[in-house]
Amino acid sequence: MKKVIVFLADGTEEIEALTPVDMLRRAGAEVTFAGVPAAKCTCSHGVKITADKAACDCVGEEYDMVVLPGGMPGTLNLGASEDVKKIVTKAYENGKFVAAICAAPSVLGGMGLLAGKRATCYPGFEEKLTGACVVAEKAVRDGNIITACGAGAAMEFALLLVAALYGEETSENLRKAVLA
């Protein structure tokens, strides 16, 4: 079973966090929904969500994929978290998937993880994708980096994450099941 961590912080865009969790769990992944700094968070539109556990309790764990949803100030809160940075760095260095949507690719850019990679983000954050080849696509995968442009691309992003872990056929079957 593939292990995935999806972060959640105060100010996270709800759909960008919940859609990947839902689709990855449907595909069979063991998804840990991790709150920063604590399990209880208030999202960007006032929705209160209790994550599975706090991100600080996930440091040292092994994950096949790390996912950063966007939203404001959620992205800033994720980028300020040393726990998030440790988990992202470990996954990246071990060749695991690192994914971010909306403003959150700026966190990866700030960490130097986008150098030479094709990436996308929410309009206006392009210059924060340090070293990336910025593309105008809803969702894009370049090696072990997956990025998407915003809430409207949440399902496409989630299905791209599923494809990365479980293959195109599983992703397409999920697409047909939920979008039929």
pLDDT tens sequence across 35-87: 999 999 999 999 999 999 999 999 999 999 999 999 999 999 999 999 999 99
| Structural domain boundaries, residue 158 | 3-179
At 80, which CATH number?
3.40.50.880
What CA–CA distance (Å, rounded) separates 52 from 67? 15
Burial of 91 by CB count in 10 Å (0-12 exposed, 13-18 middle, 19+ buried)? buried
What CA–CA distance (Å, rounded) separates 159 from 145? 14
Q: How confident is the model over 128-150, as a mean pLDDT?
A: 97
Q: How confident is the model at residue 17 (pLDDT cuts 50, 70, 90)?
A: very high
pLDDT at 99: 98
Q: Where in the sequence numbering do the catalytic residues fall?
A: 102
**Cβ contacts of residue 172 below 8 Å, gap of 6+?**
none
> How many structural domains is the chain composed of?
1
Q: Is the pLDDT of residue 153 over 80?
A: yes
